[in-house]
Structure 1
Amino acid sequence: MAVRRDRPEGARSGDRRNENMMPVGIEAINVFGGSACLDVERLAVHRQMDMDRFANLLMKEKTVALPNEDPVSFAINAAKPVLDGLSPDERAKIEMVITCTESAFDFGKSMSTYVQDLLELPRRCRLFELKNACYSGTAGLQMAVNFVLSQTSPGAKALVVASDLSRFLMEEGGDALTEDWSFAEPSSGAGAVAMLVSDTPYIFQVDVGANGYYGFEVMDTCRPSADTEAGDADLSLLSYLECCQQAFLAYQDRVEGADYRATFGYLAFHTPFGGMVKGAHRTMMRKFGKVAAKDIEADFVRRVVPGLTHCQRLGNIMGATLPLALVSTIEHAEIEEATRIGCFSYGSGCCSEFFSGVATVDGQARVRSLGLKDQFDQRYALSMEEYETLLRESGVVKFGTRNATPHAGTISGVCKGTSAGPRLYLKAIREFHREYEWIA
């Protein structure tokens, strides 16, 4: 069963163009959550963090990238199952590959070239990369949506892959690096989400024209050098909250009658950590819903928590986090009929967007068939000693590495395929060029 193709509820009334707009959105989707993970409560105890404050993160695990895993290997392992489900004719319709990341390892060469090559996609294809902190995945999705809507190449599809990782090396010194910023380590994860965007949006039909944008210059978090991170936790929270409110107000200006409480069956947020989302939702309910505290908590559990489930296990995967929250929402929601999901995307620095779309019973069945929980359960659980060792060994593949042969460190048997097929890992770096291998 395909998704509804009628005018989505809440779209601008009186806009004949919107009423007759072709369907567009996510045809297929997949998540790759890495090969290894860490219990973040154990990390917090090890780092002697304030455990009362740690509890506010609402985090359980984080994916930890091995030295022989990088944004390309994550991207391919997310995208390959999507493409394996296509016929040769359908694969040939992919005319655009967009990689979305803040973890790239080259100032010029786009990771999308590796993705196209390793997935054996057509060479008659636009290949490019987007960097916009954690907003990049949404930027890629919206660019792909508008490419399909343009109909400059009728029937064409776009592959959007958001892939990010943090090996968590903090920039030394500076007033902004307070103790608060140390809480970023438990929440900084790794992962990738691949989205096939087309005019047959089985997973998520985007509400065309229902977008609210808001952005301004702010130094809340950044990567001042390629492999390090820095930030001001308080400023980041304030910026996130301001953007959430203002982007939704911009959405309301475009969508007549849009109501934060009533319009959306569920809400998917960019999730740096669950506590930030909970605070943002509470603020939105007070400002736009004028709701009592007990009712806000119940609404959070019903409409927002489904989208946090996978984020609590992978951590903040930057540009891929909002797509991950959307997948989690569709998988864990109670969907009995076409259901509208409101999405809030935020990228530090900053740019934000509130948009929406519709998920169906059929789309939920497709997402559930991915078996994401089983994939995450099969990750290798690192000890603290192994985690610390991996942090040291990850320097082998830092930005600008000319020649190296990375491996999985002291952990044996982690790099392997699954019943679904082999997985891709970084094999070597030779004169800056990265070489990969499939391991069954």
Structure 2
Amino acid sequence: MTRTVGIEARAAGIEAMNVYGGMACLDVKELCLHRGLDMPRFENLLVQEKTVALPYEDPVTFAVNAARPLIDALAPEERARIEMVVTCTESGIDFGKSLSTYVHAHLDLPSNCRLFEIKQACYSGTAGLQMAVNFLLAQTSPGAKALVVATDISRFALADAGAVEEWAYSEPSSGAGAVAMLVSDTPHVLRIDAGAYGNHAFEVMDTCRPGPDTEAGDADLSLMAYLDCCEGAFRDYSRRVENADFRESFGQLCFHTPFGGMVKGAHRHLMRRLYKAPPKEIEADFQARLAPSLAFGKRVGNTAGGSVFVALAGMLDTVAVDAPMRVGLFSYGSGCCSEFYSGVVTPESSERLRAMRIPQALDRRHRLTIEEYEMLLRGESVVRFGTKDAELNHQIVPDAWPVDAAGDRLVLDAVVGYHRKYIWI
């Protein structure tokens, strides 16, 4: 693939990456059986588990717990070069104060940092990464690093929904999680193809958060917008990148994953539109180039802004990368904005990602019973947006509280005034 707009002289991208999937999860099949949902339709979701945020977990704790292993691995002089902290979320806890301020404080990062937050639905993580990459490529501060964290949680509450039926199939697929990325000019995990990207955007009311603790949307409209953006963003990528070919240019693909079935539908749509490919060829290509990216997403559910990077991590943990390989990434955010872009991974990428032991951390989550989950749904212990003064009950689900606490995991402890207070356990 020849790139006509790339900046080949400099490298920038993801130096290190970690996925944090919380402290508790729920078996989605058990939930669907409990709700009496149509099982063939459930199977099409391609989801097995979902992370359920406990009341003392919030977007800040997810973000910090994802980032801390990356920061702890840095030498003091490397930590001192972190000059930007970007939080990417649609789960903010304040209309003015950015989550990045809490993340910066609890990771004890240098004071000469640029702190801010990006909101654009599930596109936010890609927006943050591209902003950090372009900061580095601009060389305004040679050798600097940026910390980009996409963190989102989805809390369902009986008091908000009115009736469980309103949630339909969004309840099983809505999850929680954070992806932390250290972005630098030594991109050991993913070297971004600078200048190789395509955007597609338009105004649409497919899904939204009209209130601090409320989610609403039109599932059919969201699917159509996602399909339109997948095609439109790739066509814009092809306009910028000479000889770009969806089938041939990318060894693996990683898409924003509301649920696996949506990714499969977008891939099928693109293969039909671009190549008029027959069903057998489409299925074989999906299994070879996209199914590996679902490895973590099917265990945490939709992580919104971090979803495409959960897919990247799942692919790197699953695929045997034995030589440099170009990866195509598609990010979509409701409302909407989308981007298709690419980067190169190497055998070192997989080695570094696997060293984070993400599957083992997911295995250690407490598996909620339906009774525990329904108790959490009542929302009586949730610290809602704008809460003034609260103390958290850390024993609301006793078995979820770690017995081997090592002081390396952050949880919410109290709200004093409107100021959130956290503790390490």
TM-score (norm 1): 0.93
Partner of 2:43: 55
Task: Give the secondary structure class of the aligned counterpart of 1:386.
Answer: helix
Distance 1:371 1:262 in 2: 31
**More displaced 10-residue stretch of structure 1: 328-337 or 407-416:** 407-416
Partner of 1:94: 82
Q: State the 4+ residue runs in structure 1 displaced beyond 3 angstroms.
A: 169-173, 177-181, 393-396, 417-421
- The verdict on how the C-alpha distance between 1:385 and 1:132 changes in structure 2, with shifts beyond 3 A counting, is same
Distance 2:192 2:336 in 1: 23
Partner of 1:323: 309
**More displaced 10-residue stretch of structure 1: 41-50 or 163-172:** 163-172
Distance 2:373 2:252 in 1: 36
1:140 paired to 2:128: yes
Partner of 1:5: none
> What percentage of aligned pairs have identical amino acids?
57
**Structure-to-structure mapping, 1:113-262, within 5 angstroms:** 113-169=101-157, 181-262=167-248
Partner of 1:82: 70
Given residue 149 of structure 1, which amino acid in structure 2 is its aligned partner? L
Partner of 1:416: 402
* Residue pair 2:100, 2:116 contacting (<8 A) in 1 also: yes
Given residue 273 of structure 1, which amino acid in structure 2 is its aligned partner? F
Partner of 2:274: 288
What does the per-residue CA deviation read over 1:262-309, in whole Å, with 9 as the maximum and x for residues that have no partner? 000000000000000001001111112332211111111110011111
Partner of 2:92: 104
- The verdict on how the C-alpha distance between 1:119 and 1:226 changes in structure 2, with shifts beyond 3 A counting, is same
Task: Give the secondary structure class of the aligned counterpart of 1:28.
Answer: strand
* Residue pair 2:330, 2:338 contacting (<8 A) in 1 also: yes
What does the per-residue CA deviation read over 1:12-60, in whole Å, with 9 as the maximum and x for residues that have no partner? 2xx5xx3543010000111110000000111111111111211110100
1:11 paired to 2:23: no
Distance 1:318 1:407 in 2: 27
**1:172 to partner: Cα distance:** 5.2
Task: Give the secondary structure class of the aligned counterpart of 2:321.
Answer: coil
What does the per-residue CA deviation read over 1:312-365, in whole Å, with 9 as the maximum and x for residues that have no partner? 000001101111111111221231100010000000000000000000001111
Distance 1:258 1:181 in 2: 40
Task: Give the secondary structure class of the aligned counterpart of 1:416.
Answer: coil
1:32 paired to 2:20: yes
Distance 1:47 1:140 in 2: 37
1:271 paired to 2:263: no
**1:160 to partner: Cα distance:** 0.2
1:302 paired to 2:302: no
Distance 2:262 2:166 in 1: 13
**Structure-to-structure mapping, 1:352-367, within 5 angstroms:** 352-367=338-353
Distance 1:156 1:296 in 2: 42
**More displaced 10-residue stretch of structure 1: 64-73 or 389-398:** 389-398
**1:407 to partner: Cα distance:** 2.3
Partner of 2:364: 378
What does the per-residue CA deviation read over 1:363-411, in whole Å, with 9 as the maximum and x for residues that have no partner? 1111111111111011000001100111224653011100111224531
Segments of structure 2 that go 5 or more residues without pairing to the other structure are none
TM-score (norm 2): 0.96
* Residue pair 1:390, 1:409 contacting (<8 A) in 2 also: no
Segments of structure 1 that go 5 or more residues without pairing to the other structure are 1-8
- The verdict on how the C-alpha distance between 1:420 and 1:404 changes in structure 2, with shifts beyond 3 A counting, is closer
Task: Give the secondary structure class of the aligned counterpart of 1:396.
Answer: coil
- The verdict on how the C-alpha distance between 1:247 and 1:179 changes in structure 2, with shifts beyond 3 A counting, is farther
Given residue 94 of structure 2, which amino acid in structure 1 is its aligned partner? D
Task: Give the secondary structure class of the aligned counterpart of 2:22.
Answer: coil
1:400 paired to 2:392: no
What does the per-residue CA deviation read over 1:184-209, in whole Å, with 9 as the maximum and x for residues that have no partner? 00000001000000000000000000
Aligned length: 424
Task: Give the secondary structure class of the aligned counterpart of 1:224.
Answer: strand
Distance 2:370 2:212 in 1: 25
